[in-house]
Structure 1
Amino acid sequence: MSTSVLILGEYPPPFGGVAIHIRSFVPYLLEHGYGVQIVSAGTHSGLESHEGFDVHRLTHDRVASVKKIAGRIPTLVNDFVKTRFFSDDFLKAQVIAAAAEPLIANADLICAYHIFPWGFAGAMLAEKYKKPLCLVHFGEVYASEPYYRKNIRQVKFIADRASEVVAASQHCARSLGNLGIEYDVKVVPMGVDLESLNPSIEREEIRNRYGIKPTDQVVLYLGRMHKNLGLHTVLEAIPKFSGKAKTIIAGASGELTGAANELARSFPDQVFVAPDFPFEDLSGFYGASDVVVAPSPDNRPCMGLAIKEAMACGKPVIACDIGGIPEAVDHGVTGLLIPTENADSLALSVSELLEDPKQRQLMGQNGRLRAADLFSVEKTNQRLESIFSNVLGN
């Protein structure tokens, strides 16, 4: 009988960083003899059957959530008494736990992504059913540190019930320690698929779509269109280098989509916006670019998935010297690190790379080698599976 893993976390769509990781990790687990069940969020509830595994979708609909919780009121009260925690995250965790309970009997291991609410649900299930828990966390503590400090008892409740705690970078591994909670945190970066993301990606398809000539230079921002990923700095910098390059802004819609579209109207032949593009176009956007910018404004990023994807595609990266980003970008070798929220510095760095094709090429080659050495999805999947194996062996 195969070992079975119950995964609590985001499975695509949508295609965020965690969702992309889980999407690549599940086939690896199946190939290595694991059974897999996933509880995830979605726009609808119900069962999705995939080849070799199922995804149990939860909706954000409040009525459906109340119905799920209604059958476990005694458990809810017991969990509240233990954790002294009542918030939206507590209720979300109860909904997740209710959906996962029918699957728990066949699970040998629970793997939960993010501390709240998935990790909280995993901790409650781990305690109730005496199952080992692997908690994988990212930059959520840095993003909402006052919230985590306020609820430190609950964070400790979750971490105490984890057989292993995993973080996606050394920087993110330190976040629990910053709260005064010391654990032996294993570091496993989120990997990138070096086969689908490579320097030989077809260059012209995306360029042709936007009428960009083969001789034009292209700067790419790829990520959610939010301030917390630094898009506001990109928008401020674009007029400073617009005469030297075209700019593509691609990613999930967000609070700055309107501002990006407005800038594109002001620079109709220079700036192109691609909100909510199909996932299969991902590699094409990297292939069309010459320089990738990722100026995150704060210390939340563990490393930045787009940064590693760009490196895998042999593209130089301009990013901010903050958080876990220096663990990915080797300044002057695979790209350039700049101060946060500094449009002038971003524009100067873009201009520097646009004007030096040899430096761009060398940085791109170095980035590809670094991605292959440190961030290959085969290597990172193997490292995470080995943690599972050790937990189950113990």
Structure 2
Amino acid sequence: MLKIRKISILVWNLSTNDGIIRATLLGEALKRLGYEIEIIGFIFGQKLYKATPDGWKIITVKGTNYPGFLKSSWELLKKIDGDLIYAIKPQPASYGIALLKKLFKRVPVILDIDDWELSWHGGDEWKYRPSLKQFARDILKPEGALRRPEHPLYLKWMENLINQADAITVHTQFLYERFGGIFVPNGKDIELFNPDKYDSQKSKVHYNLSGYRTLMFPGAPRPYKGVEDVLIALDKLNQPDLKLVIVGGSPYDDYDDKLIEKWGNRIIKLTNYPANVMPEIVAAADIIVVPQRDNSAARAQFPLKITDGMAMAKPVLATKVGDIPKILGGTGYLVEPSSPEQIAEKIEWIFQNLEEAQEKGKQARERCVKYYSIDTMSAILAEIIQGLEPKRSKIY
């Protein structure tokens, strides 16, 4: 059997967090197994995503649209020298490159699917049926749609090639049912995210949150993530010391700025921080909120915010969407999606019964240690790599 010593984790765009966070979690789990790890990929933006972990071997190539993308791809292809490629997302700029390397060098490929990429474009309903004139525009004009490597037509082609991977990993039931594969959760570094190491009140002071009761959303707001439902709930409660703390903001658009424009009196926004600082920030939260709305994009995701809160023994208030109820396993508080009224009621209940809620947070920490740690990821990945044609594993 092939002796694997080095693994190249291929990320389609290292300019954003769209894949880099999942790549980092998988990389950390693989490092604990003794493998040499490199993260490699294109930069389609101006620079490397600022939350990329320090001290990791990261190889980049400037990403461009077609036809320049073909030259960039060849340049990236030559830089991949792992004994195994772990491609993040069925994107042409990650999985497509990985399949080319497999074709030329017979390097085994694992594909990780952490989102349903086509869900952003209408899912199964999306069709590309242009007129001849529109097709010519899309392919010939400098800004033509088909010049973008991430165009949904190419994503559809990549989905048709998923069975060419030597193994597939997923992290939600939705993705498993759609693509098969083996369940590898979004694990948490439970030693880094250890509430015993942090003082909640000191964190509140440090991040200018003292005097507030804080609902924390440690992520990038997008409409389907339901942040507006929390803000409407806060309007209903109308208690000035209740604040929604957004950590990081959206790297995709100005959506969080629009939220602040409308609900500036309810929001405190913190900037992006490296992963090793996040536990100190989460320590300042009274409640972690994960208010996903019910659509295919949300059902496909494993919200990292949940395990942030669970690992730090915080009460987690979330919606009954996708895998969220299974992840929490009775250790959090659940409401129906798109229900500000229920969110408001549950917020009020948690603060009126804070001691009980904090006890439930401790139970969430225990569940996170057992099922959602980096070590859990490592154990599953060890079996995958040893077999390379793994049997499907039981989920949860």
TM-score, scaled to structure 2: 0.77
Matching residue of 1:36: 37
Match 1:122 to one of 84, 88, 98: 98
Matched, 1:138 2:141: no
Indicate if the aligned counterparts of 2:316 and 2:332 stay in contact, CA closer than 8 A.
Answer: yes
| SS of residue paired to 1:289 | coil
Residues in 1 aligned to 2:335 and 2:53: alpha-carbon distance in whole angstroms: 45
Structure 1 counterpart of 2:27, one-letter code: V
Matching residue of 1:75: none
Change (3 A) 1:22 1:263: same
Matching residue of 2:140: none
5 Å-filtered alignment, 1:1-394, equals: 3-9=5-11, 14-15=16-17, 18-42=19-43, 43=45, 54-62=57-65, 66-67=67-68, 69-70=70-71, 95=72, 97-104=73-80, 106-117=81-92, 118-140=94-116, 141-144=118-121, 145-146=123-124, 154-176=157-179, 183=180, 185-200=181-196, 201-209=198-206, 211-213=208-210, 216-243=212-239, 245-253=242-250, 254-263=253-262, 265=264, 267=265, 271-297=267-293, 298-301=295-298, 302-330=301-329, 333-391=330-388
Change (3 A) 1:323 1:255: farther
Answer 1 or 2: higher relative contact order, Cα 8 Å, separation at least 6: 2
Residues in 1 aligned to 2:254 and 2:337: alpha-carbon distance in whole angstroms: 19
Deviation of 1:22 after TM superposition, in Å, equals 2.7
Residues in 2 aligned to 1:194 and 1:261: alpha-carbon distance in whole angstroms: 33
Matching residue of 1:89: none
Residues in 1 aligned to 2:328 and 2:5: alpha-carbon distance in whole angstroms: 37
Deviation of 1:134 after TM superposition, in Å, equals 0.6
Indicate if the aligned counterparts of 1:303 and 1:327 stay in contact, CA closer than 8 A.
Answer: no
Deviations 1:5-48 (A, max 9, x none): 221116877556x42343344355345443333222334579x9
Structure 2 counterpart of 1:130, one-letter code: R
Structure 2 counterpart of 1:217, one-letter code: R
Deviations 1:207-252 (A, max 9, x none): 22454436x4321122102213222222222212341633312223
Structure 2 unaligned regions, length at least 5: 129-152, 392-396
Residues in 1 aligned to 2:32 and 2:332: alpha-carbon distance in whole angstroms: 36
Identical-residue share of aligned pairs (%):
18
Deviations 1:72-104 (A, max 9, x none): xxxxxxxxxxxxxxxxxxxxxxx4x42432134
| SS of residue paired to 1:288 | coil
TM-score, scaled to structure 1: 0.78
Residues in 2 aligned to 1:187 and 1:240: alpha-carbon distance in whole angstroms: 40
Change (3 A) 1:68 1:139: closer
Change (3 A) 1:228 1:393: closer
RMSD over aligned Cα, in angstroms? 3.2
How many residues are treated as equivalent by the alignment?
350
Structure 1 unaligned regions, length at least 5: 71-94, 177-182
Indicate if the aligned counterparts of 1:219 and 1:245 stay in contact, CA closer than 8 A.
Answer: yes
Indicate if the aligned counterparts of 2:234 and 2:242 stay in contact, CA closer than 8 A.
Answer: no
Indicate if the aligned counterparts of 1:223 and 1:251 stay in contact, CA closer than 8 A.
Answer: yes
Indicate if the aligned counterparts of 1:6 and 1:103 stay in contact, CA closer than 8 A.
Answer: no
